[in-house]
Amino acid sequence: MPNGLDSVFGVHAVRALLERGESPKELWVQEGDAGRRLSELVDTARSRGARLRSVPREELDGLSQGASHQGIVAFCPPLAPEGEESLWHKLKAWPLETPPLLLILDGVTDVHNFGACLRSADAAGVHGVIVPKDKSAPLNATVRKVACGAAESVPVYQVTNLARAMARLKEEGVWITGTAGEADASVFAADFTGPMALVMGAEGKGMRRLTREACDNLVKLPMAGTVSSLNVSVATGVCLFEVVRQRELKARG
């Protein structure tokens, strides 16, 4: 594996990487007919200067360690989150007919949970994920692997002060809903059809106090079993798809 580069596995992840405008330094393609099957991705990567290497499947299997590589792995410079000024610029130019949907992760430090949250965010059509500069998982190769292409397709914005950034979101007309086990309202009773940001806290501790106080309202997932909470990435997926459900119903009239 080339030193200092992140590995990106699978057709969807590599396509998202290229569509994002990134240029991989190297591309490993499985020996055999994979080169023909993946010719579009290979040609695009090669046109951007990527070195092409044909390798046996066993080498890709060992490199991916169980991840679905689908015969292709790209190696590229590490990802870096966007700054908050980029977020404010995009919100100012937001099209009125599409209410923004943002995900805020407060204190999610586990890279596997971060990657899974990004994957759910991509599937639900989230427009951006906001993380604090401190107490947040890095956007590293493991996150990219778990996210299966979502780290390349969903913008991640890093903010210096999360409570201050949430106050700015309110000024921009974004309604902020936090999730907390002690909340009175169910997530299924909230209105998610307008411009909104969903806040998910760290496992165990949940949201920090200032984050909680910056929310407009709090909701919870009703728990019918013996466990008191869900894994943060699972809870994120459930909540986000409640947003999707409500927005689809509203769109149908």
- Please give the annotated binding residues for S-adenosyl-L-methionine, written as ranges: 201, 221, 230
CA distance 28 to 58: 12
Residues in binding site:
201, 221, 230
Do you know the residue count of the chain?
253
Tokens of 224: 């019918």
HEC profile for the chain?
A: CCCCCEEEECHHHHHHHHHCCCCCCEEEEECCCHHHHCHHHHHHHHHCCCEEEEECHHHHHHHHCCCCCCCEEEEECCCCCEEHHHHHHHHHCCCCCCCCEEEEEECCCCHHHHHHHHHHHHHCCCCEEEEECCCCCCCCHHHHHHHCCHHHHCCEEEECCHHHHHHHHHHCCCEEEEECCCCCEEHHHCCCCCCEEEEEEECCCECCHHHHHCCCEEEECCCCCCCCCCCHHHHHHHHHHHHHHHHHHHHHC
> Phi, psi at residue 106, to the nearest 5°?
-105, 105
β-pairing verdict for 26-30 and 6-9: unpaired
Cα-trace Rg, the chain? 20
